[in-house]
Structure 1
Amino acid sequence: MFRLKEYGTNVKTELIAGMTTFLTMVYIVVVNPIILSDAGVPLDQVFMATIISAVIGTLWMAICANYPIAIAPGMGLNAYFTYAVVLASDGKIDYITAFAAVFVAGIIFIILSLTPLREKLITAIPSNLKYAITAGIGLFIAFLGLRMSKVVVASDSNLVMLGDLTSPGVLLTLFGLIFTVILMVRNINGALFIGMVVTGIVAALTNQLQIEKVVALPHLPEGILIWNPIEAIGQVISYGLYGVVFSFILVTLFDTTGTMVGVAKQAGLMKDDKLPRARQALLADSVATTVGSMFGTSPTTAFVESSSGVAVGGRTGLTSLTVAVLFIVASFFGPLVGALSSVAAITSPTLIIVGALMIGSVKEIEWSKFDEAFPAFLIILIMPLTSSISTGIAFGFIVYPLLKVIKGEAKKVNIMLYIFAILFAFQLIFLPH
């Protein structure tokens, strides 16, 4: 089913890859409820909705697309849902109405995914921008790991600065990073996963990992929130949420597409610069977004943390299947998962190391051609600085065709890049991002 021999992998490698991906992204089941609860959604409701959407999207990716890419509610999209849609409305829009907008966006997203549009988009992206997307995601997740572990912290004078290297959390992060790097240099299989396990044990021994409760029965306090497309569309029209729906679609479209391209290239799964079974893969987050909104969570996306599983050898849907099963298991271990994901030092070293692996794609960029190199540079630079994959892609997509027009090579640019350049410019100027 997963064609393991064809992709040069085996069951053990795929299981370790799945566990690695899960451990690096499981924080979402804690962070997502915290953010969405600010919008008034019950914590337990979001916890289960997060898991349901992750399981459905990741299972689809595993069974229908056979890719080692996990799906879950996206960071950034949840903050936009809470703070820019619900709270910014001063009580005019409640979370039920906001979920209606997500539901409508999900349905439109499914329709788009069934058409050749999303699939053609991947082939339309110039190779240099694809390499830049991979490198930019690498810097983004490495910077995320440094921030999460407080190795770097916010600074009023210089935006970021070195954190307190003597604090327990930073020391634990540095231990985990050094230990894991040693395993990597020694070419030990499963080095990232082993590093997280050892770091977790040290965290427990040094009282940085506190586990008070392990098991709790999963439940949905409010059941299904949205299910009728007609009513959902009616609410979008009544409250004029067209811009909200457009933002959800646009950001999710490029977050997911960019992440899939980056992770697939890292795994060596691109064929002639194209993504095989692209339509099946792109349907995963569309379906998950729609179902997730029904139970109570913001739009889903392909998770960049999937690259950590790829880094330890994950190449097929068996990796994703493992992630989905672990999410199901996690639904019964909410308190334990919360405790593990609350210790950033356990997963931060993995993010930093994977970032180092992904930045290697910059060597493929044609730096001698400035019209190709500068848009790529903007993508790589802006992704980590704005903590947004889609914003980095936006600047690259806007500048690339512009430079080609100036150079007199307008006809060499795919028409879709011009269309999305206009859409991105509109979003950056007029819509929240």
Structure 2
Amino acid sequence: MYKYFKLQENQTNPKTEMIAGITTFLTMVYIVIVNPVILADAGVPFDQVFTATIIASVIGTLWMALFANYPIAIAPGMGLNAYFAYSVVGTHGNIDYVTAFAAVFIAGVIFIILSLTPFRKKLIEAIPENLKHGITAGIGLFIAFIGLRLTGIITDHPTNLVGLGDLHSPSAILALIGLAITLVLMTLRVNGAMFFGMIATGFIAFFTGQLSFDQGFVSMPSLPEGFMVLNPITAISDVIQHSLYAVVFSFLLVTIFDTTGTMIGVAQQAGLMKGKTMPRAREALLSDSIATTVGAMFGTSPTSAYIESSAGVAAGGRTGLTSLTVAILFIVSAFFGPLVSAVSGLAAITAPALIIVGSLMMSSISHIEWGELDEAFPAFLIILSMPLTSSIATGIALGFISYPLMKIVKGKWKDVHPLVYLFAVLFFYQLAFLPH
């Protein structure tokens, strides 16, 4: 163990690494509850998503542990699951979730190929920083809005489209209490604050009669619909038939720079960077791309490196032994499906996590160059349009179209990478001529 994970070289020990793994797991285990809730809105069966979420998380995190030796955990990404459920399924010619998983699968395969080539690095460098920050913030607003809507805190309004809901309803009251409890725990820097906030909210729901455990607590994991994607040829034909090129590109784009940014951030925090380069970056990126591909086969949205891994690093995690601990705990959680199913059936328990994650993602706004209109407005357009159109892809498209146009007007067309011009043309064609 010492030699394989290089514990002595990284000045750590098994006990510290395992405690760090438990810390990371507690901060991100909310995903096994929240992910099935979101994908259920797309019609995917709860048991399918619950088991697929854990399979994808275990595969990605194990790869990270054994091949990349980083204390970084992988799981289905927040924002990408919302994009899958609310922006892809039911649109683009009324596609169903099986076809949408085909798009995720193809995005994962392309990500694997890019992870093995230098093109991935060029793609990351080509995307303007302000657009990256705008996309992160826009997704944050979008998922926070979903959390507010699921609990009835915000409802439809005949004139203003949205308005304040009935704050006296049991769902709204429970969500606000859960939000308050979780915020207090996070302010006090309690590790696993979101998870413990859910537990506290669940207790309140149980004692007020809003939550019951009719199916028990423990059962064997199951995949009621089997494999969602089995034949790559069929997946490719589904993407072509339904013109899901923009969907595949959106999944790919967000996953690549979200994962890369998170990995670099956590590696820097752990002191594992060598100057500006990240050792074993290829192996680290493969953990995410392989997990996305396998996850789509079983029935979950794209995976991402979790920024919550920084909690484990803060607790002393420095090697893959931290990630291995997380993967083992995810395997254990697979046997608590009925418990998670009961909790996920009550939106007020999971909504505070959506709202708070949205808040954390909004911090990207501070990095946008607001003093430069040609940089700020495309980012603003992304942030504004994602929640208002309920489409992450539309937000990305509008940002990529407006950015080069404003640079051309300002005489800075040479500052724009050729790939951005290519993306702008593709997105314009998609918005103008394809269903969306």
Structure 1 equivalent of residue 381 of structure 2: 378
2:33–2:350 CA contact under 8 A, matched in 1:
no
Residue type of the alignment partner of 2:343: L
Structure 1 equivalent of residue 23 of structure 2: 16
Identify the range of structure 1 (78-87 vs 368-377) with the bigger mean alpha-carbon deviation. Answer: 78-87
Please say if 1:170 is aligned against 2:177. no
Cα-to-partner distance string for 1:20-58 (whole Å, 9 max, x where unaligned): 322145332355366345xxxx77556544543343234
Counterpart among 125, 128, 139 of residue 127 in structure 2: 125
**Cα distance in 2, alignment partners of residues 324 and 143 from structure 1:** 31
Gaps of 5+ in 2: none
TM-score, normalisation: structure 2: 0.78
Structure 1 equivalent of residue 83 of structure 2: 76
Q: Secondary structure at the match of 1:77?
A: helix
Shift of 1:350: 3.1
Change (3 A) 1:126 1:28: same
Cα-to-partner distance string for 1:181-234 (whole Å, 9 max, x where unaligned): 3334444444333323222221221122211122232344565565454xx25x
Shift of 1:5: 6.6
Residue type of the alignment partner of 1:22: V
Q: Secondary structure at the match of 1:76?
A: helix
Q: Secondary structure at the match of 2:335?
A: coil
Shift of 1:410: 0.9
2:86–2:391 CA contact under 8 A, matched in 1:
no
1:398–1:425 CA contact under 8 A, matched in 2:
yes
Question: What does 1:93-132 correspond to in 2, within 5 Å?
Answer: 103=105, 106-132=108-134
Please say if 1:404 is aligned against 2:411. no
Shift of 1:300: 2.2
Structure 2 equivalent of residue 134 of structure 1: 136
Please say if 1:429 is aligned against 2:432. yes
Shift of 1:408: 0.9
Residue type of the alignment partner of 2:84: L
Shift of 1:116: 2.3
Structure 2 equivalent of residue 254 of structure 1: 253
Change (3 A) 1:346 1:263: farther
2:27–2:191 CA contact under 8 A, matched in 1:
no
Residue type of the alignment partner of 2:360: L
**Cα distance in 2, alignment partners of residues 400 and 276 from structure 1:** 32
**Cα distance in 1, alignment partners of residues 338 and 169 from structure 2:** 25
Identity of aligned residues (%): 49
**Cα distance in 1, alignment partners of residues 381 and 355 from structure 2:** 21
1:44–1:219 CA contact under 8 A, matched in 2:
yes
Cα-to-partner distance string for 1:236-280 (whole Å, 9 max, x where unaligned): 55x783554534421211231353366558758597888775544
**Cα distance in 2, alignment partners of residues 405 and 60 from structure 1:** 44
**Cα distance in 2, alignment partners of residues 28 and 141 from structure 1:** 12
Residue type of the alignment partner of 1:364: H
Counterpart among 40, 63, 71 of residue 60 in structure 1: 63
1:54–1:71 CA contact under 8 A, matched in 2:
yes
Counterpart among 208, 211, 219 of residue 209 in structure 1: 211
Change (3 A) 1:412 1:59: same
TM-score, normalisation: structure 1: 0.78
Identify the range of structure 1 (315-324 vs 381-390) with the bigger mean alpha-carbon deviation. Answer: 315-324
Identify the range of structure 1 (381-390 vs 156-165) with the bigger mean alpha-carbon deviation. Answer: 381-390
Please say if 1:361 is aligned against 2:364. yes
| Alignment RMSD (CA, Å) | 3.9
Structure 2 equivalent of residue 347 of structure 1: 350
Structure 2 equivalent of residue 392 of structure 1: 395
May I ask how many residue pairs the two structures share in their alignment?
415
1:36–1:46 CA contact under 8 A, matched in 2:
no
Change (3 A) 1:70 1:86: same
Shift of 1:145: 2.3
Cα-to-partner distance string for 1:296-326 (whole Å, 9 max, x where unaligned): x2652438xx456657858876776565445
